[in-house]
Amino acid sequence: MSVIVTDAGFGPDKAADWHDLAPDTPPKEMARIVQEAGAIRITFPNFADGRGFTLAASLRRAGFTGRLRAAGYVLADQYAMARRAGFDEVEISDALAARQPEAQWLARANWAVHDYRARLRRRA
């Protein structure tokens, strides 16, 4: 089983016809994927592999407007980065949810306010 994390915390998995991508998906496939997929799930093989964040940002810049999910080894500390990269939600294992409960994810759910650019704008 898995747990879905959104800005509202842990929630149910809403069915979708997912197009799964590995973090090493070649950029030349982006145009086709953006046109064909309504929902994309990018896998994170381990928490230190940041290629999925780059891939998500590239998809958004290419015009993808559908659901974008990070799946696998994403930590609560990486949630704000995932949202800023363009992910709508994160899918984690039950084991990770037990080690990093909902409160840890919710502490990072107001990701737009805690962005360093927002802090700089407030100071100006």
Please report the pLDDT score of residue 116 as a whole number: 64
Please report the pLDDT score of residue 114 as a whole number: 60
39 SS3 class: strand
Q: Which two tokens stand for residue 105?
A: 């994810």
Tell me the C-alpha distance between 64 and 121, whole Å: 28
Please report the pLDDT score of residue 27 as a whole number: 76
Q: Which two tokens stand for residue 77?
A: 């500390």
> Which amino acid, one-letter code, is at 54?
T
Question: How many Cβ atoms sit within 10 Å of the Cβ of residue 1?
Answer: 7
Domain boundaries along the sequence of the chain: 2-123
Q: Is the pLDDT of residue 12 over 70?
A: yes
User: Which pLDDT band, with edges at 50, 70 and 90, does 15 fall under?
Assistant: confident
Q: Which of 3.40.50.280, 3.30.559.10, 3.20.20.70, 3.30.470.20 would CATH assign to domain 2-123?
A: 3.20.20.70
Please report the pLDDT score of residue 85 as a whole number: 94
Write down the residue that tokens 């145009």 correspond to.
31
Please report the pLDDT score of residue 30 as a whole number: 80
pTM confidence score: 0.87
Q: What is the pLDDT of residues 63-74, one digit of tens each?
A: 999 999 999 999
> 3-state SS of the chain: helix, strand, coil percent to 5?
40, 25, 35
Q: Which residues pair with 92 in a beta bridge?
A: 3
Q: Is the pLDDT of residue 21 over 90?
A: yes
Q: Which two tokens stand for residue 12?
A: 């149910």
Please report the pLDDT score of residue 111 as a whole number: 72
Q: What is the pLDDT of residues 42-96, one digit of tens each?
A: 999 998 999 999 999 999 999 999 999 999 999 999 999 999 999 999 999 999 9
